[in-house]
Amino acid sequence: MRADPIERLRERTSTKWATYGPEVLPLFVAEMDFPVAPAIAERLSGLVARSDLGYDARPAALGRAFADFADERWGCRVDPATVRPTVNVMTAITEIARAAMAPGDAILVNTPVYAPFFGTIAETQARLVDVPLLHDGTGWSLDLDGIEAAFRAGVKVYLLCNPHNPIGLPHPRAQLERLAELAAQYGVLVISDEIHAALTHPGVEFTPFTAVSDAAREVGVVVTSATKAFNVPGATAAWWVPGSPAAEARYAARLPESLIHKSSHLGVHAAIAGMTGGGDWLDGVLARIVAQRDLTATLFAERLPEAVVHPASASYLAWIDFRPLGWGDDPQKRILREAQVALTPGPHFGETGRGFARLNFACSPEVLDEAVTRIAALR
């Protein structure tokens, strides 16, 4: 798998390529530079050719496609009838959280974490409770003692990011099992954002939250999409899968009816095509991502060893600690201004992101080499 040439990429009109001028290398927003999967290109081209651009009417096909995909990729059994289509992951997370709690209740997150989680907390008028991830010098993990204390103090909803963005960590099964036990004990609804699941690196285990135990199924709901794995965020479609009727009963009665009528016809077809016919393409992308991950670590070690690149085991995002360089709480500001490389600001992921930045390495080796060269020149 090779990225499109930079000249071709600059013809794109999406956020990644339209936000900055041609002098900037955009390694911020989570879009990949690879050509679309042939199965998706063929499906969408066919829709346009026959003017098949109406309202979506394929939820059954989507459920079957996801069930087969989950079984093949993770050995996870999903009842297709439980797959609930919607517009996008964050809309579903926000509305499920809102329906499961009252304004002023507490939502728990683990920073550094995907920035839109904070928007959900604000939109639902919830109180933010942050139990940051632990780092022991070699790797990251959930602070289960801190999570239990927060649950005991009255948290109603827990937004789990699995794999965790921005650090690229699929949470281990044992930790998820204990988390499920705690959530059941304290009556907490766990909403698991698993949009990066299909981008778990080869040889690394990914476990959907609701697959770990009966307790997880009783307290959990998975929200996911094909948009990240198959690089089609502009063709929006997502779905949520309640672990059990008991979990769904906690929010179903208060969900807005419109939530299930917003799937994009193009997005649903893209998801089905990717999950049923894009497996080889995805495997090629994963091989390239791993090579780019390793190249990122090598280039920084050689040219800017003071920066600490935290190794990812899922997705195509590098979490980089620039604090040893003394570039301030938001080092991407200087990197953008002086090196003309756009990264995602670390503080967007919470207070624990100060001094960090996130780099998207789903690009060509040449673009990555140039970006690190420019950043290293600031030392």
Q: Give the bridge partners for 85, in sequence order.
A: 239
Instruction: State the pLDDT at residue 91.
Output: 96
Contact (Cβ atoms closer than 8 angstroms) between residue 237 and residue 263: yes
Please, what is the average pLDDT of the chain?
Answer: 96
The angle formed by the CA atoms of residues 67, 70 and 73, to the nearest 5 degrees, is 145
The CA dihedral of 207, 283, 196, 140, to the nearest 10 degrees, is: 60
Q: Cβ(158)–Cβ(191) under 8 Å? A: yes
Q: Which residues pair with 238 in a beta bridge?
A: 86
Spatial distance between the Cα atoms of 26 and 13, rounded to a whole number of angstroms = 13
Q: How far apart are CA 45 and CA 57, in angstroms?
A: 18
Identify the pLDDT of residue 76.
94
Q: DSSP label at 170?
A: P
The strand pair at 106-109 and 356-360 is best described as unpaired
Buried b (16+ CB within 10 A) or exposed e, 335-372: bbeebbbbbbbbbbbbebbbbbbbbbbbbbeebbeebb
Pick the CATH number of 6-31+279-376 from 3.30.565.10, 3.30.70.1350, 3.90.1150.10, 1.20.1260.10: 3.90.1150.10
Taking 80 as the threshold, does the pLDDT of residue 102 lie above it?
Answer: yes
- Predicted confidence at residue 262, as pLDDT, reads 76
Q: In the prediction, which pLDDT does 258 show?
A: 82
189 forms bridges with which residues in the sheet? 157
Partner residues linked to 25 by β-bridges: 341
| pLDDT at residue 12 in the model | 96
Residue intervals in the chain for CATH 3.40.640.10: 51-277
What pLDDT digit, counting tens, does each position of 109-164 carry?
A: 999 999 999 999 999 999 999 999 999 988 999 999 999 999 999 999 999 999 99
CA angle 219, 224, 226 (to 5 degrees): 160
Kindly report the CA angle at 173 between 171 and 179, in degrees rounded to 5? Answer: 80
pLDDT band of 259, cuts 50, 70, 90: confident
- Whether 30 and 47 have beta carbons less than 8 Å apart is answered as no
> If you average pLDDT over residues 216-225, what whole number do you get?
98
In this structure, what token pair is assigned to residue 74? Answer: 């993770």
For residue 59, pLDDT beyond 80: no
pLDDT, average across residues 303-312: 97
pLDDT single digits (tens) 62-100: 999 999 999 999 999 999 999 999 999 999 999 999 999
Three-class DSSP category at 121: helix
Task: Give the containing element (helix H, strand E) for 134.
Answer: strand 134-135
pLDDT interval class at 57 (50, 70, 90): confident
d(CA 335, CA 77): 45
Asked if pLDDT for residue 257 goes beyond 90, the answer is: no
CATH 3.20.20.70 fits 51-277, yes or no: no
Rama region for 366: left / alpha / beta (φ>0; ψ in -120 to 50; rest): alpha
pTM beyond 0.85, yes or no: yes
pLDDT score of 58 more than 80: no
- The 3-state DSSP class for residue 60 equals helix
Rounded to an integer, what distance in angstroms lies between the CA atom of residue 97 and that of residue 250?
A: 10
Res. 50 pLDDT band, cuts 50 70 90: very high
Q: Can you tell me whether residue 160 is helix, strand or coil? A: strand
Q: Residues spanned by CATH 3.90.1150.10 within the chain?
A: 6-31+279-376
pLDDT class for 56, splitting at 50, 70, 90?
confident
Of 26-30, 226-230, 262-266, 340-344, which gets the smallest average pLDDT?
262-266
- Summarize the confidence of residues 159-185 as an average pLDDT: 98
Question: Would the pLDDT of 170 be above 80?
Answer: yes
